[in-house]
């Protein structure tokens, strides 16, 4: 989405080609834009969706090869208030910064979360933020789910944002997560490559949908415990809830994930309420100005450290989690030979 003169965001235009056996037009548009079916139907009713240049009903089923153009109007403007909220900054220079986000913090303002977000906190620091994205998402290069902790990249200048955005699209920004999944994967290394879109039956969830956006995650098992596996997850794409959806799709949801079937046994794992075991622990990217390779690591937070110790009880030496050693180091998370 670009900005009009005066800083107001302009409408965004999206195009897609209808596949074979395309679903209803509202379902197809919702899946492609990652919005609800009701939102897609509203766009269609308001004449903002064209099929080969003509208007169609929400129930229309496009023929293979038809070009669908969607014009999304900018959201209503709402000022984002700067707030004094402490942040753990893992890296910062004049162009970029990396935040180690705590679980429970929403990344940017949205209905139901207009304050207390990471963007509110970033504005409260008084440092510059890029304005390439729409208002309320200043500086945000990629996102993390509310209950996912860990490293998140922020651009401070427009130039840095454009370069990092292109790097992200080209899959040259490396993001690896520590995850605990219920049960045991069928093999030590596993790639899940399944398209993701809004769940047609529950718009608050994501799901594996044939018409969804391509998504790939590589999983490496670092440890196998009685009831769960400790995994390293490497994101090749960044779809909403991608790791959680992919693990749930193969029958091994993230421990503590109430949305995708992993919420049972929380007390067994000593996880706090609403917390799931997912942490963005390793971020590698090329600096957008200097070209230097940046490598940032985030130790496992204390709540996940306790959960890991509870899960591994009886499987490891008593001193495995003693001292300042990051449990991820102990399990070889940062070794690509595993």
- Whole-number Å distance between alpha carbons of 260 and 241: 10
Helix runs in the chain, H state only: 25-33, 37-45, 118-125, 158-169, 242-249, 266-269, 302-312, 327-330
Structural contact between residues 94 and 88, judged by C-beta atoms closer than 8 angstroms: no
**Catalytic residue (choose from 100, 145, 257, 303):** 145
CB 142 within 8 A of CB 152: yes
Q: Is 145 considered catalytic here? A: yes
Q: Specify whether the CB–CB gap between 151 and 277 falls below 8 A.
A: no
DSSP-based three-state secondary structure for 334: coil
Using CA atoms, how far residue 291 sits from 95, 163, 294, in Å, is 12, 11, 9
**What are the φ/ψ torsions at residue 337 (nearest 5 degrees)?**
-80, -15
The candidate with the shortest Cα–Cα distance to 294, out of 154, 132, 179, is: 154
Report residue 152 CA to chain centroid gap: 10
Catalytic residues: 145
């Amino acid at each position: 989405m670009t900005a009009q003169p005066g800083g107001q965001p302009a409408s965004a235009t999206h195009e897609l080609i209808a596949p074979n056996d395309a679903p209803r037009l509202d379902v197809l548009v919702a899946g492609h834009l990652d919005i609800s079916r009701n939102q897609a139907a509203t766009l269609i009713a308001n004449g903002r969706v064209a099929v080969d240049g003509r208007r169609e009903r929400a129930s229309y089923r496009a023929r293979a090869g038809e070009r669908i153009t969607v014009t999304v109007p900018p959201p209503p403007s709402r000022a984002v208030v700067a707030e004094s909220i402490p942040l753990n900054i893992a890296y910062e220079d004049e162009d970029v910064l990396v935040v180690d986000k705590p679980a429970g913090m929403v990344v940017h303002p949205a209905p139901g979360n207009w304050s207390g977000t990471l963007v509110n906190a970033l504005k409260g620091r008084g440092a510059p933020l890029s304005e390439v994205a729409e208002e309320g998402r200043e500086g945000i290069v990629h996102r993390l789910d509310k209950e996912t902790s860990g490293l998140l990249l922020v651009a401070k200048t427009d130039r840095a944002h454009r370069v990092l955005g292109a790097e992200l699209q080209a899959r040259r920004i490396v993001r690896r997560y520590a995850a605990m999944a219920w049960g045991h994967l069928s093999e030590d290394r596993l790639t899940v490559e399944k398209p993701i879109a809004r769940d047609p039956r529950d718009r608050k969830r994501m799901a594996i949908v044939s018409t969804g956006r391509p998504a790939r995650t590589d999983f490496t098992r670092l440890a196998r415990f009685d009831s769960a596996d400790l995994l390293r997850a490497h994101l090749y794409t960044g779809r909403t809830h991608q790791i959680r959806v992919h693990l749930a799709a193969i029958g091994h949801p993230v421990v503590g994930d109430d949305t995708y079937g992993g919420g049972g046994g929380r007390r067994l794992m000593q996880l706090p309420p609403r917390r799931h075991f997912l942490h963005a622990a390793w971020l590698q990217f090329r600096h957008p100005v200097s070209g230097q390779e940046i490598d940032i690591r985030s130790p496992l937070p204390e709540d996940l450290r306790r959960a890991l110790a509870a899960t591994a009880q009886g499987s490891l030496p008593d001193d495995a989690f003693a001292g300042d050693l990051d449990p991820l180091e102990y399990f070889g998370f940062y070794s690509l030979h595993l």
